[in-house]
Amino acid sequence: MDKAPTSAASSPKARTTEPGSPQSPAARDAVNQEGHPSPVEDVGSPSNASPGAVHQEPGSPAATTSAPASSPKAHAAAASREENTSPAAALMDTEAPPLPLDLNAAAEEGEEQAETTEAAAATALIPIIQEQQMHAWSEAGSIAQHTFSQLETLRMRAALKREEARVDARRRQDIAASAGVREVSATDENWDAPAPPTAEAQESGWDDDDPAEGQECLRHVEYDLRVVRPEDAGGKAAGKAVQLRLGALTPGFDVQAAAEAALLGAVGQEPAFLSFAGRVLPPFLPIHSAGVGDGDTLVLLAHAPVLPQEPSTILARAM
């Protein structure tokens, strides 16, 4: 025997349309008015109930009332309210802090910071500048030391040259003084007259035929010699003559030095060649050995004689 179904849900009559469902008349009207279905809140569900709402059982008079349909304008208003309550909107609504009123204090603080920065930079540059200065001073000291050494060397050389010149001049003066220089004129009446023999020559008793015996006797014998500067030689001494008193063993070099000092005023002032008998007087040979005797005349030429010097002839003549 079959049992009849006892559940109310299984019968067709028990299937009633709840308010808010898509099949309810209110939902159909909302769809027809807006053109699209709107979400309907299930007031009968406890999970959808808002805080503080009273739960009503289905079938009660309040449950049969359909919930008002929400429109797009309502959604826009809700979104606007949410945007106005966001953190960004709250930040925009916050007022900015007021600017400091004491601008001078801020400027002074900035200047102090700038001065502090400049002082730190200058302090950092001090070692670099000091190192550069020390390097420059070292180079300058080296250059000055080198220059001083060169100047000192030149000064010493100049002093040596001056000393040599002074000694040479004194030597020439001593030779001229010992020769007994006496200036005479070339136009004197006794120019061509032979000079008288000296007392030393008379007392020596030297015989020209025996020069070996007379060498020792001539050590203290002196000759009176005339030295002439020709007219064609030019210069201030042209045409003048001097008389010298020299030893018989005086070398030709010293005789020429005495002649230049007497006629020209100093040695080496003008070109000079001391000649005797048309030949240059040998510089290192005694005048007696060169054939010069007491009272002879020597010529101080401006140019060397044309005839070459022949020492062998002079030595043969002296013997």
Average pLDDT, the chain: 67
Q: What's the number of domains the chain is made of?
A: 1
Query: Does residue 78 lie in a domain region?
Result: no
| The amino acid at 80 | S
Give the largest CA-CA distance in the chain.
Answer: 211
Query: Does residue 214 lie in a domain region?
Result: yes
Nearest to 309 by CA among 290, 286, 289: 290
Query: Does residue 299 lie in a domain region?
Result: yes
The 3-state secondary structure of 2-40, one letter per residue: CCCCCCCCCCCCCCCCCCCCCCCHHHHHHHHHHCCCCCC
**What would the mean pLDDT of 209-219 be, rounded to a whole number?**
59
**pLDDT at site 117:** 86
Query: Does residue 253 lie in a domain region?
Result: yes
- Give the residues across from 226 on adjacent strands: 243, 297
CATH of the domain at 300: 3.10.20.90
Q: Which range has highest mean pLDDT (158-167, 177-186, 212-221, 294-303)?
A: 294-303
> Residue 225 above 70 pLDDT?
yes
Query: Does residue 34 lie in a domain region?
Result: no
What is the token pair recorded at 226? 């005339």
> Residue 311 above 60 pLDDT?
no
> Residue 17 above 60 pLDDT?
no
**What would the mean pLDDT of 203-220 be, rounded to a whole number?**
55
Q: Which range has highest mean pLDDT (3-12, 29-38, 49-58, 280-289)?
A: 280-289
What is the token pair recorded at 157? 């050389």
Q: Which range has highest mean pLDDT (56-70, 139-153, 190-204)?
A: 139-153
Q: What is the pLDDT of residues 34-81, one digit of tens each?
A: 444 444 444 444 444 444 444 444 544 444 444 444 567 777 766 666
d(CA 203, CA 220): 11
Q: Quote the domain boundaries for residue 253.
A: 182-318
